[in-house]
Amino acid sequence: MFLADGSAMAFNTVIDRLLASPHYGEHWGRHWLDVVRYTDSFDARGIGGGGDVPEAYRYRDWVVGAFNEDLPYDQFVMNRSLVLHPTH
């Protein structure tokens, strides 16, 4: 697509398409989740059971969504605290 598009806006079109993709948040969110040592199971065998963290997916999904929404870093850090330690 990019190579076939001879317009001056070809590069911008590709960048906009990539940033609009939900895979953008999945890709970059994965790096953040690695840094904070995210896990949904403490069972190294990955077979499920008592070592599972049943609500971990909520944090993972929130991180992916935050990257897709281009949430500013300061808000990301502040909201991250609220996601991890919600007040009931």
* Per-residue pLDDT tens over the stretch 13-26: 888 888 888 899 99
Domain-embedded: residue 1:
no
Contacts of 14 (CB under 8 A, 6+ apart): 1, 2
Residue among 22, 35, 14 nearest 61 (CA):
22
Domain-embedded: residue 28:
yes
Domain-embedded: residue 11:
no
Domain-embedded: residue 10:
no
Domain-embedded: residue 35:
yes
pTM: predicted TM-score of the whole model, two decimal places: 0.72
User: Could you give the 3-state DSSP secondary structure of residue 74?
Assistant: helix
> How many structural domains comprise the chain?
1
Domain-embedded: residue 46:
yes
Domain hosting 69: range is: 23-84
d(CA 60, CA 40): 9
pLDDT at 86 over 90: no
**Residues 22, 68 contacting (CB under 8 angstroms):** yes
Domain-embedded: residue 55:
yes
Domain-embedded: residue 14:
no
d(CA 24, CA 17): 10
